[in-house]
C-alpha cells in the first residue's frame, strides 16, 4: 500500500491539464532547470554517496561509469531508431529519464519494503520522507517529458508506469530481506544514468536559451534543484 501511494505521486501532472498551453510552456523550462539540478545532485549526494557507504570506492565508481556508458549507448540507439533520417517528434532523452526514474523508484520501493520489516513506524516515516522528495522531482520529470515532445496525457501515463516500479521494489524488499546488497550495486549504476541525463541532455537544452532574464531564472531553478536534494540529504540522511 505504501509503495502504491508513492506511485500515485506520478499523477501530479494531472493538475496541468487545465492550464493553457501558452502558460504551461512558460513553466516547463523552469521545471526542466529544476529537474536538471535535482538529477545532478541526487545522483551525487544520494545514490553515489550512499553506495560509497556500502561498497568499495573502486567498485562504486566502476558501476557509476558502467551506468553512465549504458545510458550513453541507449541514447545512441534510441536516437538512431527513432530519429534516423528524420526529425524527432519525441526526443530520446524522454525515454532515458523514464528508464532512469524507473530504476530510482525501484530502489525507493526496496527501501520502503525493508523499512517496514525493521519497524512499522519507521516504515511510515520512510514512506513519507520518500514521497516528500518525490513530489517536486516527479513534477520536474513531467516538465522534461513535455519539453521533450510528449503530449500531456501520454506523459502522465508513462510517468505513472515508471513510478509503479516502486511497487515491484517494495515486494522484493519485503520478501527478500537480504536485498540491500543488491541495492548497493544498483545505486551507483542509477547515479551514472542520472548524471548522464543531467549533463549530456538537459544542461545543453538550458544553454539554448538566449534571453538573459530566462537564462538567469533557469540557473536559479537549477540551483534550487541542487539545494533541495542536498537539503533532503542533510535533514533525512537518505
pTM above 0.95, yes or no: no
Q: Where is average pLDDT lowest: 9-13, 29-33, 182-186? A: 9-13
In a domain, 96, yes or no: yes
The model's pLDDT over 101-120, given as tens digits with 9 standing for 90+, comes to: 888 788 778 767 766 765 67
Report the percent of the chain where pLDDT is more than 90.
Answer: 11
Nearest alpha carbon to residue 30 among 234, 220, 229, 233: 220
Q: Which of the two residues, 231 and 232, has the higher pLDDT score?
A: 231
Residue with cell 523508484: 105
What is the CB neighbour count within 10 angstroms for residue 69? 13
Count, in order, helices (H) and strands (E) of the chain: 11, 0
3-state secondary structure of 135: helix
Model confidence at 85, pLDDT cuts 50, 70, 90, reads very low
Residue with cell 532515458: 96
In a domain, 18, yes or no: no
**What pLDDT, on a 0 to 100 scale, did the predictor assign at position 197?**
84
Residue with cell 536559451: 209
Q: CA-CA distance, 153 to 112, in Å (whole number)?
A: 28
| Cβ burial 89-103 (10 Å sphere, 16+ → b, else e) | ebbbbbbbbbbbbbb
How many structural domains does the chain have?
Answer: 1
In a domain, 60, yes or no: yes
Q: Where is average pLDDT lowest: 46-50, 88-92, 141-145? A: 88-92
Q: Concatenate the DSSP letters of all residues of 157-170 into one string.
A: HHHHHHHTHHHHHH
The CA dihedral of 73, 130, 136, 9, to the nearest 10 degrees, is 90
Q: CA-CA distance, 22 to 135, in Å (whole number)?
A: 23
CB 110 within 8 A of CB 170: yes
CB 2 within 8 A of CB 124: yes
CB 148 within 8 A of CB 93: yes
**What pLDDT, on a 0 to 100 scale, did the predictor assign at position 50?**
83
Residue 218 confidence (pLDDT) above 70: yes
In a domain, 16, yes or no: no
Q: Where is average pLDDT lowest: 15-24, 91-100, 140-149, 181-190? A: 15-24
In a domain, 13, yes or no: no
In a domain, 14, yes or no: no
First to last CA, the chain: 21
Residue 166 confidence (pLDDT) above 60: yes
Residue 225 confidence (pLDDT) above 80: yes
In a domain, 216, yes or no: yes
**What pLDDT, on a 0 to 100 scale, did the predictor assign at position 42?**
84
In a domain, 87, yes or no: yes
Q: The C-alpha cell of 233 is what?
A: 540529504
CB 46 within 8 A of CB 233: yes
Range of the domain at 54: 2-8+24-236
Amino acid at each position: 500500500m505504501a509503495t502504491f501511494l508513492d506511485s500515485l505521486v506520478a499523477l501530479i501532472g494531472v493538475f496541468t491539464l487545465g492550464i493553457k498551453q501558452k502558460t504551461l510552456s512558460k513553466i516547463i523550462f523552469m521545471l526542466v532547470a529544476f529537474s536538471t539540478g535535482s538529477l545532478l545532485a541526487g545522483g551525487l549526494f544520494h545514490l553515489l554517496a550512499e553506495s560509497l557507504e556500502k561498497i568499495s570506492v573502486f567498485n562504486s565508481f566502476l558501476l557509476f561509469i558502467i551506468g553512465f556508458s549504458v545510458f550513453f549507448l541507449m541514447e545512441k540507439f534510441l536516437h538512431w531508431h527513432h530519429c534516423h533520417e528524420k526529425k524527432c517528434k519525441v526526443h530520446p532523452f524522454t525515454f532515458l529519464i523514464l528508464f532512469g526514474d524507473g530504476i530510482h523508484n525501484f530502489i525507493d520501493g526496496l527501501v520502503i519494503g525493508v523499512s517496514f520489516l525493521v519497524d512499522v513506524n519507521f516504515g511510515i516515516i520512510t514512506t513519507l520522507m520518500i514521497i516528500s522528495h518525490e513530489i517536486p522531482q516527479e513534477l520536474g520529470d513531467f516538465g522534461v517529458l513535455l519539453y521533450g515532445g510528449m503530449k500531456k496525457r501520454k506523459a502522465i501515463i508513462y510517468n505513472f508506469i515508471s513510478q509503479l516500479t516502486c511497487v515491484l521494489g517494495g515486494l522484493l524488499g519485503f520478501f527478500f530481506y537480504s536485498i540491500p546488497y543488491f541495492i548497493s550495486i544498483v545505486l551507483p549504476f542509477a547515479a551514472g544514468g542520472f548524471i548522464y541525463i543531467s549533463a549530456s541532455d538537459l544542461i545543453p537544452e538550458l544553454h539554448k536559451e538566449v534571453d538573459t532574464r530566462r537564462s538567469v531564472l533557469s540557473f536559479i531553478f537549477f540551483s534550487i534543484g541542487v539545494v533541495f536534494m542536498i537539503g533532503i540529504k542533510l535533514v533525512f540522511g537518505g
